[in-house]
Amino acid sequence: MKIELTDQQRENQQRFQAFVEREVMPRAEVYDESGVFPDDLALAMGRAGHLGALAPVEYGGLDLDMISFGLQNEAYGRGCASARSLLTVHNMVLASVLRWGSAAQKARWLPGLAAGQSLAAFALSEPESGSDANSLQTYAVLEGDHYSLHGSKKWITFGQLAGLFLVFAKLHGKTTAFLVERGSPGLAVEAISPMGGCRAAMLAELRLDGCRVPAANLLGRPGLGWTYVANAALDNGRYSVAWGCVGLAQGCLEASLAYVNRRRQFGALLREHQLIQAMVADMVAGVEAARLLCFKAGYLQEIGDPGAILATSLAKYFGAQNAARVSGAAVQIHGANGFSRVFPVHRHWRDAKVMEIIEGSTQIQQMIIGRASAAG
């Protein structure tokens, strides 16, 4: 077996890395501190075509293969988890419209999403419904030519900036997906003040008070919102997060390698101390293993293998925990400097913890992997 990027994939990788090193990394610390994602960065991501990664060329997208999409997420994850999370949620919605949308829905929304002219957010979680996501309380009622949505959505990444929300609500007791535009009557978007990690991910709470949604905005079929739309989107999000975790851990490893080569204690560079070498070895092994799991998931997704879903879950499960471990070791290696804002490792460490909670927490992945594996 040979694991090797194609020329096109390598070219994509270099392009994404160069963009992130130029546009994201120099200011990630500053906007993380402010908790405000720069408008011009979102625009630059759009102009570069990065928000249309999964859209076909006919809609103005990059139509990336799944490995290239993974490499894009790794490149962003290495720079900033908030920027990477914009890729994640935006693509979850874009891919949902692409997969489940009618011709009219695709024509209406895909070009703007692919160009990044409109940002998209994925609105599933609620104050009382998290891991048990299908237990949502938001509901929809058909009233003539439109639906009225009632309820609220919480922790919606980039909800503060999104022009389009993929909202899940019960219709006749069954979860159904709706495309809800910003500015819809009865929709209020409230900012959630910056969190402990992914501080610039512009989280919002949505209040749906009889929110009026045209009947034509139902995505897919009534009642299939959970089994099909939400689960496919979550699978896509997990893949994006898993690669983002590889990038985050890679960033921590690189920062740590630079640090152990300049910091001296007890008359020797840190890299010469064996306990530091042990930490570095664990970091290297973790990053390599997490990346290989992502490659496997990407390969299976690319060939349409049914095992891709479990492989993606595994990549996210291992990748998120590995990101937490590696970023923790990076802070340790940096000592007091690891808690300063001069080095990025403290931000990565806070962001890494988020990865164990979102897109199905570590425990939810354990349940998925454990059940599927035990069932054979």
Q: Which residues are catalytic?
A: 359
Q: How far is the CB of 364 from ligand FAD (least distance, A)?
A: 6
358 binds ligand FAD (CB under 6 A): yes
Comparing C-alpha atoms, which of 47, 162, 84 is closest to residue 352? 84
Q: How far is the CB of 52 from ligand FAD (least distance, A)?
A: 19
Q: How far is the CB of 136 from ligand FAD (least distance, A)?
A: 10
DSSP 24: I
155 binds ligand FAD (CB under 6 A): yes
Q: Select from 12, 68, 91, 157 the one that contacts ligand FAD (CB under 6 A).
A: 157
Length of the chain: 376
In the chain, count H helices and then E strands. 11, 10
Greatest Cα pair distance in the chain: 79
Show the site string, 203-242: x = touches ligand FAD by CB under 6 A, - = not: x---------------------------------------
Number of residues that bind ligand FAD (CB under 6 A): 20
What's the Cα-to-Cα distance from 128 to each of 15, 131, 137, 227, 357, rounded to whole Å?
Answer: 42, 10, 8, 20, 16
**Residue 128: both structure tokens together:** 């009382």
357 binds ligand FAD (CB under 6 A): yes
Q: Which residue has the tokens 């809609």?
A: 59
Show the site string, 58-97: x = touches ligand FAD by CB under 6 A, - = not: -------------------------------x--------
Single out the segment in contact with ligand FAD by CB under 6 A; choices: 10-18, 35-43, 153-161, 280-288.
Answer: 153-161
137 binds ligand FAD (CB under 6 A): no
d(CA 243, CA 236): 11
DSSP 17: H
Beta strands in 215-278 (DSSP E): 218-219, 264-265, 268-269
Residues that bind ligand FAD (CB under 6 A): 89, 122-125, 130-131, 155-157, 195, 198, 201, 203, 354, 357-358, 361, 363-364
